[in-house]
């Protein structure tokens, strides 16, 4: 699926929705490693961006997004609209990241 056919809005400029296929989601549950915790703790001493955690968050959100796209494609979608993210701490140090949206079939607007 092309990334330009994914959006947080409910429409795609230049396209019209011909079918709605339902809600799709990608769920990832991640924990930080002992080494990641130590590295992040050391980075907090200097202040600023905690790059170890930023990279972990970016990878986790990207993986959840990719799973959502896989789910959409399995339903026959060529686009996803209304994309949102949610995160929940399942237990201390373990977080669930959910990416969800509505799978649709779009065609070029005439």
Range of the domain at 19: 3-32+64-108
Q: pLDDT grade, residue 60 (50/70/90)?
A: very high
CA-based angle 19:20:26, to the nearest 5? 135
Count up the domains in the chain and report the number. Answer: 1
Considering the domain boundaries, does residue 45 fall inside one? no
Considering the domain boundaries, does residue 42 fall inside one? no
4-36: burial string, b at 16+ Cβ within 10 Å, e else = ebbbeeeebeebeeeeebeebbbebebebeeee
- Percentage, residues of the chain above pLDDT 70: 82
Question: pTM (2 decimals)?
Answer: 0.83
Considering the domain boundaries, does residue 11 fall inside one? yes
The CATH number of the domain holding residue 13 is: 3.30.110.70
* Per-position DSSP letters for 13-50, written without gaps between them: TTEEEEEEEEEEEEEEEEE--HHHHHHHHHHHHH-S--
Other C-beta atoms within 10 Å of 82: how many?
A: 15
Cα(59)–Cα(3) distance, rounded to whole angstroms? 17
Mean pLDDT (the chain) is: 87
The pLDDT tens digits of the residues spanning 80-108 come to 999 999 999 888 878 899 999 999 999 99
């Amino acid at each position: 699926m092309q990334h330009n056919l994914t959006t947080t809005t409910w429409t795609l400029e230049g396209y019209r929705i011909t079918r709605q296929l339902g809600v799709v989601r990608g769920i990832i549950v991640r924990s930080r490693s002992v080494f990641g915790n130590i590295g992040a703790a050391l980075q907090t001493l200097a202040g600023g961006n905690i790059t170890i955690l930023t990279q972990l968050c970016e990878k986790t959100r990207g993986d959840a997004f990719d799973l959502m796209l896989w789910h959409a494609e399995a339903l026959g979608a060529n686009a996803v609209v209304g994309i949102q993210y949610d995160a929940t701490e399942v237990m201390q140090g373990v977080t669930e990241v959910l990416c969800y949206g509505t799978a649709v079939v779009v065609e070029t607007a005439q």
